[in-house]
Amino acid sequence: MAALRLAARSRLIQGLRTDVFRSAQRNASTSSVRPTNPLRTALYAGVFAVSTGLLAVYYFDSRSSIHRYVLTPLVRNLLDPEQGHQLAVKALRSGLAARDTQPDDELLKCELWEGITTTNPVGVAAGFDKNGEAIDGLFNLGFNWVEIGSVTPKPQPGNPRPRMFRLTADGAVINRYGFPSEGHAVVLSRLKSRIPWFFKEGHLPASFKPGKLLAVNLGKNKTSPPDSIDDFVTGVHTFAPYADVLVVNVSSPNTPGLRSVRNPLFYPTTLSFM
């Protein structure tokens, strides 16, 4: 009797295993051939594309609150001042920064020198984009005048870190960079790379944007003789074909003897090549 019960139990277990195996096979076969709904797939793809497009339009508009209330506070709290500065330059260089989407009002038009008309009177001075990395990104922000530099003939590192400090209560910074520059050769290569293939070198305006000006600020190496103006002369010859304006920096306290340079050829300190 015991042997019969064991045989019956064995057959029962074997039968259950067979049923489970067949059920798994049917489920796998059914799921593998289950037809997809093309209408549903297209709907999901359309919703995703529209959502991504709207998010991009919102992000790239410089008026969007996300830049003032989310991204900027994150940068200020997570990065030190110099890291935040470098991140801003890289974002502008990559094309991932916000843009001014509105045309300038006619009331903002200005006339400079001999009939040169600009779309607005607001520009960014030298010191932000020291090496000409973010020129077009800055123009896209709405600046009418972008001044890069100061650029020195030879590369130099500037002052040791830390060299930039936030004044939170004043909404300002203290800048003690000390003329860091990648040198004439590197900056010149960047200016040349901006030239559209259908323009010749020396085309004006050098900004390649109607009503906007590109300026290059010329600096002097700390290792150069204090009474020499050779660095400035070299800068004029190097960058004149690629700038609308050249600015000669003789006021920085970071270069020994710079403020003692007194040569009538370099006054006033802004030389126009329009």
Active-site positions read: 252
DSSP symbols for 104-167: PPGGG-EEETTTEEES-S-EE-TTSSTTSSSHHHHHHTT-SEEEEEEE-SS-B--SPSP-EEEE
DSSP symbols for 208-246: SSTT-EEEEEE---TTS-TT--HHHHHHHHHHGGG-SEE
Say which residues have a Cβ less than 8 Å from residue 21's Cβ, sequence separation at least 6: none
Which residue, among 46, 29, 30, has the nearest Cα to 38 in the 3D structure?
46
Q: Which helix (H) or strand (E) holds 253?
A: none
Q: Which two tokens stand for residue 102?
A: 């509105």
The DSSP bridge partners found for residue 174 are 165
Q: What is the dihedral of CA 37, 38, 39, 42, to 10 degrees?
A: 130
Judge residue 195's burial from the number of C-beta atoms within 10 Å of its C-beta, 0-12 exposed, 13-18 middle, 19 or more buried.
Answer: middle
d(Cα 172, Cα 174) in Å, to the nearest integer? 7
Say which residues have a Cβ less than 8 Å from residue 140's Cβ, sequence separation at least 6: 92, 97, 99, 100
